[in-house]
Amino acid sequence: MAMTKRLTIPRPDDWHLHLRDGAMMEGVLPWSARHFARAIVMPNLVPPVVTADQAAAYRDRILAALPEGVVFEPLMTLYLTETTDPEDVSAAHTSGLVKSVKLYPAGATTNSASGVANFDTVRPILERMAEIGLPLCVHGEVTRTEIDIFDREAVFIDEVLDPIRRATPGLRVVMEHITTAEAAAYASNGGDDLGATITVQHLMLDRNDMLVGGIRPHYYCLPILKRKSHREALVRAATSGDQRFFLGTDSAPHATDTKENACGCAGCFTAPVALSCLAEVFEGADALDRLAAFTSVNGPKFYGLPVNQDTITLEKGAAISRPAEIETGAGPVTVFDPGRPLYWRVTA
């Protein structure tokens, strides 16, 4: 007899999410709010969210765009620039408005032109953040042209991340969207002050999925998909139950025509199917009992926030139907498709 498999877990949070602004934000927000209680909202708008005032205004726009009756808490992040004011950052933390500061190396990814070029310039802010316990979320890739795109994360750890952490004791750091065995190993050797998020696509796909038999622009994201052995290391980390690893979908919507393009944008829009995908990955690793740690427990613990009181239920059945695209006022956005059927659905 076929047994229905059912799993109830505390409602998940997304510790790395791009919501954009305006019509795009209005279109994608309901898809995250359906399943996730809270999200660390990335500040890489144009222009970026740099000051506390800008973060407060962005937060208000997100809350105003929520459908009637839907509860969702945006956790705001400031975009670190070389001219960021430590007093403004500190006040934004004290008031509870801001939960992290985001470090983009200048030019590393979508909308990162105002990021940091000289890491010594931001040392005073990092020291203040260590004092007040405000986490630094790091896009961990070097941007020097001579470094191969597949090596940029591993080089960043040695050249930038480790020196910053040594120079700034007590600084709480999230290694965001890790994609390599090197990053997973570095994170698991860290103390309680280190966390690492992992995306859905990096747990499901490797670079062959993106490049063999035709180029698949909807799998192009940054940091770029790596070889299979790295994906396997990430699955081991995510399913280990180790409290340092938690979910950051990095769901990053771009209008379909800007992805299917001679110079396509980086980012996968995974929010609608993230939990169906993750249940699949954890089941495949025989670790469904650790899904909650990854999606719902380890993240709040790192950020010093309570685990959500309410729950969601996932059920395994016939292959789910999912939209190929969602419509937004800023054009259609293609929904992440891992190239295989998904059997887990969120039922409640």
* Positions marked catalytic: 250
Is there binding between residue 115 and ligand NCD (CB under 6 A)? no
Site for ligand NCD (CB under 6 A): which residue of 51, 110, 121, 188?
Answer: 110
- Residue 44 interacts, among ligand NCD, Zn ion, none and using kind-specific CB cut-offs from 5 to 8 Å, with ligand NCD
Burial category of 34 from C-beta neighbours within 10 Å (exposed 0-12, middle 13-18, buried 19 and up): middle
* Tokens describing residue 279: 């249940």
Q: Are 199 and 270 in contact (CB under 8 A)?
A: yes
Total Cβ atoms within 10 A of residue 60? 11
CB of 212 to ligand NCD, least distance (A): 20
CB of 94 to ligand NCD, least distance (A): 27
CB of 48 to Zn ion, least distance (A): 13
CB of 43 to Zn ion, least distance (A): 10
Total Cβ atoms within 10 A of residue 290? 19
**Residue 63: what are its φ and ψ, rounded to 5°?**
-60, -40
Is there binding between residue 28 and ligand NCD (CB under 6 A)? no
- Residue 279 interacts, among ligand NCD, Zn ion, none and using kind-specific CB cut-offs from 5 to 8 Å, with none
Site for ligand NCD (CB under 6 A): which residue of 29, 39, 43, 44?
Answer: 44
- Residue 266 interacts, among ligand NCD, Zn ion, none and using kind-specific CB cut-offs from 5 to 8 Å, with ligand NCD
The C-alpha atoms of residue 182 and residue 186 are separated, in whole angstroms, by 6
CB of 222 to ligand NCD, least distance (A): 4
Three-state SS at 306: coil
Site for ligand NCD (CB under 6 A): which residue of 12, 115, 140, 267?
Answer: 267
Is there binding between residue 139 and ligand NCD (CB under 6 A)? yes
Comparison of 39 and 98: residue with beta carbon closer to Zn ion: 39
Comparison of 108 and 181: residue with beta carbon closer to Zn ion: 108
- Residue 39 interacts, among Zn ion, ligand NCD, none and using kind-specific CB cut-offs from 5 to 8 Å, with none
Binding flags for ligand NCD, 218-257, as an x/- string (CB under 6 A): ---xx---------------------------x-x-----
CB of 19 to Zn ion, least distance (A): 11
Q: What element of type H or E holds 164?
A: helix 162-167
Is there binding between residue 109 and ligand NCD (CB under 6 A)? yes
DSSP string, 16-56: EE---SHHHHHHHHHHHHTT-SEEEE----SS---SHHHHH
Q: Are 14 and 278 in contact (CB under 8 A)?
A: no
Comparison of 155 and 285: residue with beta carbon closer to ligand NCD: 155
Binding site for Zn ion (CB under 5 A): 250
- Closest among 180, 342, 176, 156 to 246, alpha carbons compared: 176
- Closest among 265, 255, 294 to 14, alpha carbons compared: 294
Is there binding between residue 59 and ligand NCD (CB under 6 A)? no
> Measured in whole angstroms, how far is the alpha carbon of residue 111 from the centre of its chain?
16
In one letter, which amino acid is 81? Answer: T
Please report where in the chains the tokens 């994608």 appear, as a residue.
28
